[in-house]
């Protein structure tokens, strides 16, 4: 569905992303993990057109979108959420989702209201439906942001730390909801620091460190990768570990 080839981003003399390449499959959840400052959100900004790469190519369903504007990519089926909540605070929970559904359905009120209602209930937001978004608890607001993004019927959904503000019970429920999203062929890319949520939700992981992709593989392969353990997971290698055993990177 999505192919990223040799993407590099310079901020002055700093390389925020350095020759990053990865693929995202439809109907699967792909995780992007790494320490703070690794370039994860910068990659999302490049994928959604908010930031132009210094070098590299991005294609969606075989179409080159490297120079496409954010609204053009949205029309092609890319939706995202943000680290910092970006809701319409004066609109109610239901109106936030309805607005997105109306845009996706070009103003057809009947279908849009039905879709919005289904998503509000699916995300457990029914009791908040008439409440203005700017008074929601942080965890509830995160769920609303994801529901609103799904209302646009995306082909590819980018979630930037959606677990922030959720308690343990809410995160478990969100993981179950996330597992349902790829059922219709939607691809999901997840940036998240909660490793329980990541390992439970993702079929494939890519690890960034200082702007470079240092490992790709299944959750089990990433957990066993010595370089990732040193750079991010904070796990002390056992005496039997060796670079040769754990330096795995799939193409």
Q: List pLDDT tens digits, range 193-207.
A: 999 899 999 999 999
Amino acid 147: pLDDT: 95
Amino acid 250: pLDDT: 43
Amino acid 184: pLDDT: 78
d(CA 171, CA 173): 5
**Cα atoms found within 13 Å of the Cα of residue 218, Cβ hemisphere only:** 2
**Range list of H helices, the chain:** 40-47, 70-76, 93-104, 109-122, 138-150, 168-180, 195-201, 219-224, 226-228, 243-246
d(CA 222, CA 244): 14
Name the residue with higher pLDDT: 121 or 250.
121
Q: What is the DSSP string of 68-105?
A: --HHHHHHHTEEE--SS----TTSBHHHHHHHHHHHHT
Residues 6+ apart with CB under 8 A from 172: none
CA angle 36, 37, 38 (to 5 degrees): 95
Amino acid 12: pLDDT: 86
**pLDDT of 251 above 70:** no
Residue 138 has a CB neighbour count (10 Å cut-off) of 10
Q: What is the pLDDT of residues 88-140, one digit of tens each?
A: 999 999 999 999 999 887 655 578 999 999 999 999 999 999 999 999 999 99
Domains of the chain: 23-51+68-87+136-246 (3.40.50.300)
Share of the chain above pLDDT 90, in %: 70
| Residue 168 φ/ψ, nearest 5 degrees | -60, -45
Amino acid 234: pLDDT: 63
Q: Exposure of 3 by Cβ count < 10 A (0-12 exposed, 13-18 middle, 19+ buried)?
A: middle
Q: What is the pLDDT of residues 38-59, one digit of tens each?
A: 999 999 999 999 999 999 999 9
Amino acid 201: pLDDT: 92
Name the residue with higher pLDDT: 229 or 212.
212
Handedness of CA 126, 147, 205, 33 (dihedral sign): negative
What is the b/e burial string over 94-111, where b = at least 16 CB atoms within 10 angstroms of the residue's CB? bbbbbbbbbebbeeeeee
Amino acid 235: pLDDT: 55
Phi/psi-derived region of residue 136, left when phi > 0, alpha when psi is between -120 and 50, beta in every other case: beta
**pLDDT of 176 above 80:** yes
């Amino acid at each position: 569905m999505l192919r990223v080839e040799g993407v590099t981003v310079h901020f002055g003399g700093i390389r925020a992303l350095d020759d990053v390449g990865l693929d995202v499959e439809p109907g699967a959840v792909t995780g992007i993990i790494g320490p703070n400052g690794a370039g994860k959100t910068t990659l999302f900004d490049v994928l959604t057109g908010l930031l132009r790469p210094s070098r590299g190519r991005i294609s969606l369903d075989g179409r080159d979108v490297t120079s496409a504007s954010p609204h053009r990519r949205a029309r092609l089926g890319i939706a995202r959420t943000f680290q910092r909540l970006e809701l319409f605070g004066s609109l109610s929970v239901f109106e936030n989702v309805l607005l997105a559904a109306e845009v996706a359905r070009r103003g057809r009120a009947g279908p849009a209201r039905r879709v919005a209602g289904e998503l509000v209930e699916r995300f457990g937001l029914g009791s908040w439906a008439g409440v203005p978004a700017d008074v929601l608890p942080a965890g509830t607001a995160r769920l609303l942001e994801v529901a609103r993004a799904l209302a646009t019927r995306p082909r590819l959904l980018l979630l930037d730390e959606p677990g922030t503000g959720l308690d343990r019970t809410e995160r478990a429920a969100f993981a179950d909801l996330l597992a349902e999203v790829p059922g219709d062929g939607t691809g999901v890319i997840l940036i998240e620091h909660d490793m329980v949520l990541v390992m439970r939700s993702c079929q494939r992981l890519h690890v960034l460190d200082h702007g470079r992709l240092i490992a790709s593989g299944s959750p089990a392969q990433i957990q066993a990768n010595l370089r990732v353990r040193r750079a991010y997971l904070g796990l002390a290698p056992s005496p039997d570990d060796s670079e040769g055993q754990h330096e795995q990177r799939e193409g």
